[in-house]
Amino acid sequence: TEPNRFCLYPRANGEGRITSVTILNASIESSEPAVLRIKKPAGPDILWMALGGETCRLSFEMQGEFIKIYLPALNAWSAGTVFIG
């Protein structure tokens, strides 16, 4: 299988902490589930919102000043946003 082809669009607050990351699957094929690793997250509350408006909580692990978030598969040319607070 080919690696996922994601475009990532992070947003940070005034303190430089990451508050959200929008992920675009820039491929004509569905992606595999993936892991997103973020330095300096805004908090441990993780919410996923898919392009169609579906929301859910995602599994994650805190690792010092990093957070590892487990993303679902994305359909071709689809997107979703991880909100971190």
pLDDT, one tens digit per residue, over 18-58 is 999 999 999 999 999 999 999 999 999 999 999 888 899 99
Contact 3, 55 (CB under 8 A): no
How far is residue 27 CA from its own chain's centroid?
17
Rounded to two decimals, the pTM is 0.92
